[in-house]
Structure 1
């Protein structure tokens, strides 16, 4: 197979996307596939790497250090030269013309949906009804443009279930993974306060405000604690204001996964409380580091946490603070061991195997015209170490 991964919204804080692209790329190359990665950048550039060819296309900044390819025909020019058997899109807006090009040219197309746009936009704008109507129209167009939609959780699958069924587009659930060698437990010395940690982009749709407010509520109750916040984003000043005199420290962006693992492992509880998270790589990274997680009682992150590895509550500071107190009261060996055991259910190898099956299912023989493929029933049982892949038609 010749798989082209297309990432069209990349910036300094898009760590989760970069992690997933790299892990999948390593897996594809390791399985003997040819791999192409197309990304936006400050100038045109082409590079050959051990993980395949990388084509960087000149793209403007669109805020927050992010870049966006606004000329999709330049992407198709690259693909026409490289001749993939399937493409993997992680952008729902500007690369739709590329999906149409793929259909006209007998190339399979897979949309890897890494965000649930309806809830994400509602969290960002506060316009719940307007966001859902707009996203619903977009999703109808998406499922008619690609051959398969891949989602990472049952929560994320709900966004597409109805429109995909009407269009006859398969929706496949493939949970992401975690690097279990890099993210691992580390030795911790004795601590005198409750240590909390939050890692993620400091942007409203990721709900860092709720994590900080939870720490403030615990501080108000007189509980000795410290919250370390790792990440950057446009709403840092708002978070500092919310924290006020509570013991919250903003540590900035950590560019080393090993350093981040050590920081996560030092905490007693990780706060990953966004109710609109479609998966939650930060949750898995904390669990793999041996740190249990408190999350919201809804969303994709909730699906990663069970009774042995964390706790969940309604997404408000009082309820989440109660969950932190309950979780911190459990025996340390049990909660840390439970966290690591839960993460071990999500190796990247399982994700890669499932994605390779998806790409195989959309690959078309040269003798046939472009038509929608139906994923084989074997895909539904591909994941053996965690929750099975599910298919909605």
Structure 2
């Protein structure tokens, strides 16, 4: 197999899709399976090293999700690179310019085509007051994936949602996410970390990691924590790791609500692992996840999770078994969950043990072994007629 991957986000960009695809390409190269990635140039702040395995193109940020870049590729350059590489399968990972080039080449040269579905972009639209685009977006997403022999999704809940939209279940496969337990683990020098940030007096650390953007509902986390701090634990501190368009408005909200919030900004490893492991609770109210890598990272670091009761996170977090799930957008429910974990040390201990046990079972190599076997079988199968169809617009 010779695999060409087309994606609008790739390392050194820091997001779940980019990191997953980087691991996937590294896995293939380690097994001497030729793989060539077509990706946009990253944001100016990130300067990737030149690689013979990655073709880069000038790009602009996508307004809904700046981590995905809108590439401005030279079709002649792409065609020459593909003719030289001679792919036997094409994998389109994002539904923008790079993905369109991959689809076009696969159709023209009758090369087996697969896709991976990573992001519920339709759920983002309401947070940016452009929900009128939902039907139009789904028509495009349906069309984009119509010729794919398989569409790999990160969670069973995402598979169910796409099946309900009329996508052929036989073409949908779960490609779950793994965790590097050597990088994410429960060991941390909590006293040193808190002292470094002037938080020595904090009695209870509530941690959020992720993009600071409307679709993540971080404002709900702030409101929930404000009530928790006011009514339950005045010595608690909310720590937020991440950056994004909502940073300034969230800081204003924290001031307005009198919240002890510590904004770290973008936080890389290994410091990110230290914050996970040093925190008492991981609070993640996002309702738009197809998987939610940060939830698995928190579990691997021994941190109990409170999350929204919707989307891919619910495939990882089982309510009252290894975490607590709350009604999306309900700050009071999230506050109550924080209080339960604060007051019930035995519950925290159970969640920590079960979360660690779950994370230890999520081996990247085992996950990629299964994906590779599926692709190798797909490569020799005759093409089937698409049965992805429109159902809601």
Q: Please give the range of the TM-score, normalised by the shorter of the 2 chains.
A: 0.7 to 0.9
Work out whether residues 8 and 68 of structure 1, in 8 Å CA contact, stay in contact via their aligned partners in 2. yes
Structure 1 equivalent of residue 59 of structure 2: 59
What's the CA shift string for 1:129-164, capped at 9, x where partnerless?
A: x34312321232023232211111123224421555
Structure 2 equivalent of residue 82 of structure 1: 85
Q: Does 87-96 or 35-44 show the bigger shift?
A: 35-44
Q: How many residues align?
A: 363
CA 1:77–1:203 in structure 2 vs 1: closer, same or farther (change >3 Å)? farther
Structure 2 equivalent of residue 330 of structure 1: 345
Structure 1 equivalent of residue 221 of structure 2: 211
Q: How does 1:1-393 map to 2 (within 5 A)?
A: 1-9=1-9, 14-41=14-41, 47-48=50-51, 53-62=53-62, 64=66, 67-71=69-73, 73=75, 74-94=77-97, 95-122=99-126, 124-128=127-131, 130-162=132-164, 165=167, 170-187=171-188, 193-223=203-233, 224-244=235-255, 245-256=258-269, 258-306=270-318, 307-315=320-328, 316-328=330-342, 329-331=344-346, 332-364=348-380, 371-372=383-384
SS in 2 for 1:277: coil
Per the normalisation by structure 1, the TM-score is 0.83
Work out whether residues 211 and 271 of structure 1, in 8 Å CA contact, stay in contact via their aligned partners in 2. yes
Distance in 2 between residues matched to 1:137 and 1:72, nearest whole Å? 26
Work out whether residues 308 and 327 of structure 2, in 8 Å CA contact, stay in contact via their aligned partners in 1. yes
CA 1:146–1:227 in structure 2 vs 1: closer, same or farther (change >3 Å)? same
Q: Which runs of 4+ in 1 moved over 6 A?
A: 42-46
Question: Unaligned regions of 5+ residues in structure 2, if any?
Answer: 192-200, 387-393
SS in 2 for 1:160: helix
Work out whether residues 140 and 164 of structure 1, in 8 Å CA contact, stay in contact via their aligned partners in 2. no
Structure 2 equivalent of residue 389 of structure 1: none
Work out whether residues 85 and 107 of structure 1, in 8 Å CA contact, stay in contact via their aligned partners in 2. yes
Work out whether residues 36 and 54 of structure 2, in 8 Å CA contact, stay in contact via their aligned partners in 1. yes
Work out whether residues 107 and 364 of structure 1, in 8 Å CA contact, stay in contact via their aligned partners in 2. no
Per the normalisation by structure 2, the TM-score is 0.83
Structure 2 equivalent of residue 390 of structure 1: none
Distance in 2 between residues matched to 1:164 and 1:180, nearest whole Å? 37
What's the CA shift string for 1:262-293, capped at 9, x where partnerless?
A: 11100010011111211000111111111111
SS in 1 for 2:268: coil
* Displacement after TM superposition at 1:5 (Å): 2.1
Distance in 1 between residues matched to 2:28 and 2:118, nearest whole Å? 19
* Displacement after TM superposition at 1:7 (Å): 1.9
Q: Could you say what the CA RMSD is over the residues aligned between the two structures, in angstroms? A: 2.8
SS in 2 for 1:114: coil
CA 1:161–1:235 in structure 2 vs 1: closer, same or farther (change >3 Å)? same
Distance in 1 between residues matched to 2:385 and 2:14, nearest whole Å? 31
CA 1:327–1:65 in structure 2 vs 1: closer, same or farther (change >3 Å)? closer
CA 1:214–1:131 in structure 2 vs 1: closer, same or farther (change >3 Å)? farther
SS in 1 for 2:113: strand
Question: Unaligned regions of 5+ residues in structure 1, if any?
Answer: 375-393
* Displacement after TM superposition at 1:189 (Å): 5.2
Distance in 2 between residues matched to 1:61 and 1:116, nearest whole Å? 18
